[in-house]
Amino acid sequence: MHLDGFFFNSLVREVQENIAGSRVEDVYDSIDGNLILQLRAPGQTLRLEISLPPLAFFLTTGGRRRKNPGAFSQTLKKHMAALFCRSFTNPPFDRRATLALSPSPQGPASHFLHIEIMGRQNDIIFCAQDKIIASTRPAKPGAARLLQPGDRYYPPLPPGKTAPDNLSGDLLGLLLANLGEVGLEKALVQTVLGVSPLLAKEICARAGLPDSRGADLNPEAINRLAGEIVSLSGASLRGDFQPVLYAEQGPYWTRLTHLSPPRRQYPTLSAALADWMANSRGASQFAALYQRLHKALAVSVKRLQGTIAKQELERNRAQEFENFRQIADTLLAGLNGVPKGAAAVTLANVYTGQPMQISLDPGLSASANASRYYKKYNKYKNAAAKVQKQMDANRSQLAYLQSLEYSLEAANSLEDLREVLAETEEAGLIRRQHKVKFTPPPSDTYLSYSTDRGTAVLVGKNNRQNERLTLQKADKNHYWLHCRYSPGSHVILCATEPDDSELAYAASLAAWHSKERNSPKVEVVWTQVKNVKKIPGAKPGMVQYTNFRSILIEPSQN
């Protein structure tokens, strides 16, 4: 979902028009784990649903109550019940909204519910005037903002971008010139408030400037681009929206001319969001399946890690076998120096010349004791090799389980989760709940990106998709990229002769779509698809590659 600043404006306006003047009847948690504000308006009951963690909000007719309420919703209910909704507003094109509440229909606002949907700062904060009463994510010590109850509320710092509604061609030209060789779409995201990568692509398409760079534009093209931005911003502020749902991109506030026709149209933005949430990470069915898979994988990983730890101890003990051979050889070389019936003897090690203290069985001869040490040598030598082989197999299985954990984390829809479920059932990690043994084929709903030059970049979302994308779909002369030391997606750069900037962009995507997403730098390898082969007998998505190069790069999807 692309809930950018333009989408946010229209959504806030739609909710404001419906809830203004209504009274808070109840606050509770839904069975999906979201927050529900039940409001009473003249002649009707409204429900404002806010996803937790906060990713979206919308008016809904559902919102079944969860049996065990959470502390946050109960705190809100205690303070908000019977208050009136005075306004619901946001700073234009900023993704934070404020619900102002008052004890009387026409009185001044006394309480405020701040909804911040700003990436890493997603939060819901409830205040009496500017004093924080509760928040969904209290700040950690040393954080930039204090969000503990009793602290004073400060809004996040503004992003430092240019407002789009009064953007002139001259100002836009100056902004683009300052960014130099950056692609036009990326430049718009970095400089214009509220513009997402999806909207930037649409703006460039409407202006007839796809796959362009800001530095290459003439004044006429820049004015045309600025005009499209101002036009879209005006529609967003007026609430002139056309709610649609796209198969891959999710809901959006207006039609996008650069995409195929949407899957469905809706009368309201709330209806589009509610439908999307019902089939995405916010749905109870999604949550139940996610928890089932997460628990099964966590148990399997923990059990396997314990097995490997025990095997390491056993291997370390077994690796002493070489010492037994040296003892046996030393005994045979010094038979005449071993007293009969001795429990121990000190002899010079035939390999090092150093004194060696040797324990003996007094009931055996020196040669019989040597034979006993040879038997130990052969036993532990074979055991060490066997244990090492088992450890290698278990480490390979652990890497596979960790790749499944990544696939689970990357899943954003029921379809994605069902593919992970099919793979875990196929691997025997989860018992099949259906009688008919049927494994659905992997879908081709890969994530799709585009470089500044317009080259397509495809990203698999799970192991089965990775294998199909790399070994069946991709051109053998195109380029394959992957995070080197961590589970992640297979990334295909659809070019036979990419330049350095395209490889760097695809590498940043490979780093982003991996378990190392939050690392400052990630090592990513690349090679042509023809150099990537499936490991014989290995699990889905497990490949080996040759003739590769690597780069340390910052994870990014922009």
Interval 361-406: pLDDT, tens:
998 998 999 898 888 888 877 877 788 888 888 888 888 898 998 8
Range 134-140 average pLDDT: 77
Q: Which one is predicted more confidently, 318 or 24? A: 24
Range 61-87 average pLDDT: 90
User: What is d(CA 460, CA 471) in angstroms, rounded to the nearest whole number?
Assistant: 12
Q: Give residue 182's pLDDT band: very low, low, confident or very high (50, 70, 90).
A: confident
Q: Where are the alpha helices (DSSP H) in 195-283?
A: 197-206, 219-238, 269-278
pLDDT tens figures, 217-227: 899 999 999 99
Q: Give residue 313's pLDDT band: very low, low, confident or very high (50, 70, 90).
A: confident
Q: Which one is predicted more confidently, 469 or 427? A: 469
The domain limits of the chain are 5-135, 169-278, 285-440, 447-553
pLDDT tens figures, 274-302: 888 777 654 567 777 888 899 999 999 99
Burial 75-94 (b: 16+ CB within 10 A, else e): bbbebbeebbbbebebbbbb
Range 15-39 average pLDDT: 92
- Can you give the pLDDT at residue 274? 87
Provide the 8-state DSSP code for 489: -
- What average pLDDT does the structure give for the chain? 88
Residue 439 has pLDDT above 70, yes or no: no
Question: Domain spanning 5-135: which CATH class is it, in words?
Answer: mainly beta
- Can you give the pLDDT at residue 436? 46
Range 73-79 average pLDDT: 94
With respect to CATH, is domain 285-440 assigned 1.10.287?
Answer: yes
Q: Which one is predicted more confidently, 133 or 396? A: 133
Span of 258-267, 307-316, 378-387 with lowest mean pLDDT: 378-387
Question: Domain spanning 169-278: which CATH class is it, in words?
Answer: mainly alpha
Q: Which one is predicted more confidently, 527 or 337? A: 527
Phi-psi region of 511 (alpha: psi -120 to 50; beta: other; left: phi over 0): alpha
Range 441-462 average pLDDT: 85
Range 438-447 average pLDDT: 68
- Can you give the pLDDT at residue 281? 54
Span of 162-166, 305-309, 429-433 with lowest mean pLDDT: 429-433
Q: Which one is predicted more confidently, 35 or 141? A: 35
Residue 176 has pLDDT above 50, yes or no: yes
Range 513-525 average pLDDT: 90
Those residues with Cβ within 8 angstroms of residue 438's Cβ, 6 or more apart along the chain or in another chain? none
- Can you give the pLDDT at residue 144? 67
| Whether the bond into 53 is cis, omega within 30 of 0 | yes
Neighbours of 338 (CB within 10 A): 19
Q: Give residue 156's pLDDT band: very low, low, confident or very high (50, 70, 90).
A: confident
- Can you give the pLDDT at residue 43? 86
